[in-house]
Amino acid sequence: MDNTMTLFPSLLLVAALSLILLLLLHRTAARRKLRLPPGSLGLPFLGETLHLISAYKTENPEPFIDERVARYGSVFTTHVFGEPTVFSADPDTNRFILQNEGRLFESSYPGSICNLLGKHSLLLMRGNLHKRMHSLTMSFANSSIIKDHLLVHIDRLVRVNLESWTGRVLLMEEAKKITFELTVKQLMSFDPCEWTENLMKEYMLVIDGFFAIPLPLFSNTYRRAIQARGKVAEALDLVVKERRKSEGGERKNDMLAALLEGDGGGGGFSDEEIVDFLVALLVAGYETTSTIMTLAVKFLTETPLALAQLKEEHDEIRARKGDSEALEWEDYKSMPFTQCVVNETLRVANIISGIFRRTMTDVNIKGYTIPKGWKVFASFRAVHLDQEHFKDARSFNPWRWQDSSATANSTSMFAPFGGGPRRCPGSELARVELSVFLHHVVTRFSWIPAEEDRLVFFPTTRTQKRFPIIVQPRVQAV
Ligand code: HEM
Ligand SMILES: *[C@@H]1O[C@H](CO)[C@@H](O)[C@H](O)[C@H]1NC(C)=O
Ligand SMILES: *[C@@H]1O[C@H](CO)[C@@H](O)[C@H](O)[C@H]1NC(C)=O
Ligand SMILES: *[C@@H]1O[C@H](CO)[C@@H](O)[C@H](O)[C@H]1NC(C)=O
């Protein structure tokens, strides 16, 4: 009772303040003769944000976007977490936003997220330093590095993890474990051990904190995440210091070695910078890749014809190689249907449904002016699931990628890894990890879902129950 008594006046206050701010916004816009994209700025802040969240919480947020697009067109204004935001469901506008990073737009995260990332995080860097770190990351996940160094570990770690699968398996948990181990290997050459397991526990608490938006200050999850971030940083800091001490010894071929040498020109990095960088890579690569692994298996389970064709492709590869031989780059390059499955999973799942930016100056788009300091959201999801850009866009159909004329048309619409200066440096790595994972899963197991599970899209894309399946070793078919 007490609570409602105090809550009510503060809600009124919020509503009143919102209204005043709104009027001010419209007045400024009018004075500067700005033509804003149409939209629902008229709705009170909270109303619109709750509307958006509830849409994304359901199995299918498309009706929300569809309705707005039908009413206002593919670029419209809305409110996200109390801020006026321009929402783009238009591929050209999305590309414009991505390409003009650092000139007209800059990435923008809430303060709560910045605290978790650390102030030297790649995700928060700007300008030349960002350019340098971005290309350093690329040079540690590009295809020649994967081919010559990483593939053998990916193959091995996937295999070892699959060995323990029996009976009921929580696919998302397994995928997370694999991805975490892979990332730690790539970053600092550690094989799975007690240390990595403990690190993973703390690390998962940090990740939870990212999803404590929009009310981080009131959330225990967030407080725990900040603490865990401290522990993760401490553990990584020790690793960095150890490595510095042993400098002069054998040079390891990992990300940490490159960071310690300050590769990419411009001098070395401090320990703190290196730790923040390692945290950024863990954040960016872990949840995304493990979710895409889980969802690929889910979509395949629901599409038996695609699963059968995928099995055939991988059984052929396995038949050429004997039972325990590792996959090689040539094998990866001879998985045409798998690549269709990978693209289609990325298209339908939209793990990163889009990206937030902030305007650095007044920006003209499609005859509208977006005032300086506004948020924009380039929605990949809205484009990927638009019937105008992809035929029968809302069904999982890997065969669509076999039709090269249609694919040529779609490539400019297809941006699961973003674009421009911040395009995901881990895109090739994610593709390889997913392909190798699928190879071993389909050649070793058959499975059925253990219970019904469904997709949700807020705060991130995932399944509600971590996709439990019941696995069975395949009778030696090959
Ligand atoms: C399916 C898996 C993945 C998806 C869908 C994905 C998607 C994305 C997207 C859309 C961005 C752009 C963010 C922006 O423009 O603000 C991005 C950035 C980034 N990704 Fe990925 N990613 C995946 C896997 C990975 C992996 C495995 C790594 C590890 C190497 C990684 C490392 C990064 C980093 C470091 C950035 C920041 C780049 C920058 O700000 O310059 N990602 N990712
Ligand atoms: C990948 O990065 C390495 C440096 O780590 C570089 O020597 C190589 O040329 C790059 N390969 C490609 C294909 O960009
Ligand atoms: C998958 O999408 C990429 C664009 O991100 C494209 O270059 C590639 O050709 C596609 N693969 C297939 C098999 O269509
Ligand atoms: C490619 O896209 C354009 C415009 O979206 C459309 O008019 C054309 O028919 C498409 N071509 C194919 C082969 O799908």
User: How much is the pLDDT for 61?
Assistant: 64
Pocket probe mutation, ligand 2, options 132, 136, 143, 144, max atoms within 8 Å of Cβ: 144
Q: How confident is the model at residue 346 (pLDDT cuts 50, 70, 90)?
A: very high
User: How much is the pLDDT for 79?
Assistant: 78
Residue whose structure tokens are 């509307």: 51
Angle between helices 171-188 and 271-301 (to 10 degrees): 150
User: For residue 169, which amino acid is it?
Assistant: V
Residue whose structure tokens are 């916004």: 25
Give the closest ligand to the alpha carbon of residue 378.
Answer: 1
User: How much is the pLDDT for 27?
Assistant: 62
Residue 21, Cβ neighbours under 10 Å: how many?
A: 14
- Ligand 1 center to 284 CA (angstroms): 5
User: How much is the pLDDT for 116?
Assistant: 84
For the stretch 255-280, pLDDT in tens is: 888 888 875 555 678 888 899 988 88
User: How much is the pLDDT for 214?
Assistant: 56
- CA distances to 149, 296, 373 from 429, rounded to whole Å, are 12, 16, 34
Tokens matching residue 261: 């040498």
CA-proximal residue: ligand 1, atom 30 (nearest): 426
Residue whose structure tokens are 């054998």: 250
Strands (E), 52-174: 75-80, 83-88, 105-107, 167-170
**Higher per-residue confidence, 175 vs 218:** 175
Q: How confident is the model at residue 478 (pLDDT cuts 50, 70, 90)?
A: very low
- Cβ atoms of 29 and 37 closer than 8 Å: no
Report which DSSP code applies to 327. Answer: P
Residue 137, Cβ neighbours under 10 Å: how many?
A: 21
Report which DSSP code applies to 278. Answer: H
- Once rounded to an integer, what is the mean pLDDT over residues 426-448? 97
Handedness of CA 142, 143, 149, 154 (dihedral sign): positive
Q: Is the distance from the beta carbon of residue 407 to the nearest atom of ligand 3 less than 6 Å? A: yes
User: How much is the pLDDT for 454?
Assistant: 86
User: How much is the pLDDT for 394?
Assistant: 87
Closest by Cα among 192, 196, 187 to 252: 187
**pLDDT higher than threshold 60 for residue 5:** no
For the stretch 441-466, pLDDT in tens is: 999 999 999 999 988 777 678 888 99
> Across the strands, what pairs with 445?
473
Query: What pTM value is reported for the model?
Result: 0.90
- Which residues have a Cβ under 8 Å from the Cβ of 178 and sit 6 or more positions away? 157, 158, 161, 290, 293, 437
Tokens matching residue 97: 């936003």
CA-proximal residue: ligand 1, atom 24 (nearest): 285
**Higher per-residue confidence, 289 vs 410:** 289
> Across the strands, what pairs with 357?
107, 376
Three-class DSSP category at 382 = helix
User: How far apart, in whole angstroms, are the C-alpha atoms of residue 350 and residue 344?
Assistant: 10
User: How much is the pLDDT for 287?
Assistant: 87
Residue 425, Cβ neighbours under 10 Å: how many?
A: 22
Atom of ligand 1 nearest to the CA of 351: 5
- Ligand 4 center to 408 CA (angstroms): 9
User: How much is the pLDDT for 1?
Assistant: 42
Q: How confident is the model at residue 67 (pLDDT cuts 50, 70, 90)?
A: confident
- Ligand 3 center to 400 CA (angstroms): 11
User: How much is the pLDDT for 75?
Assistant: 94
User: How far apart, in whole angstroms, are the C-alpha atoms of residue 136 and residue 255?
Assistant: 9
- Once rounded to an integer, what is the mean pLDDT over residues 50-55? 68
**Higher per-residue confidence, 335 vs 68:** 335
User: How far apart, in whole angstroms, are the C-alpha atoms of residue 74 and residue 68?
Assistant: 8
User: How much is the pLDDT for 19?
Assistant: 72
Q: Is the distance from the beta carbon of residue 58 to the nearest atom of ligand 1 less than 6 Å? A: no
Closest by Cα among 416, 383, 413, 419 to 105: 419
**pLDDT higher than threshold 60 for residue 44:** no
Q: What is the mean pLDDT of the chain?
A: 86
User: How much is the pLDDT for 208?
Assistant: 83
What is the full DSSP assignment across 192-252?
SSHHHHHHHHHHHHHHHHHTTTT-GGG-HHHHHHHHHHHHHHHHHHHHHHHHHHTTTSPPP
Tell me whether residue 424 is annotated as binding.
yes
Q: Is the distance from the beta carbon of residue 340 to the nearest atom of ligand 3 less than 6 Å? A: yes
Q: How confident is the model at residue 215 (pLDDT cuts 50, 70, 90)?
A: low
Angle between helices 45-57 and 62-72 (to 10 degrees): 130
- Once rounded to an integer, what is the mean pLDDT over residues 316-342? 95
> Across the strands, what pairs with 304?
none
For the stretch 350-362, pLDDT in tens is: 989 899 999 999 9
User: How much is the pLDDT for 52?
Assistant: 67
CA-proximal residue: ligand 2, atom 2 (nearest): 139
User: How much is the pLDDT for 86?
Assistant: 93
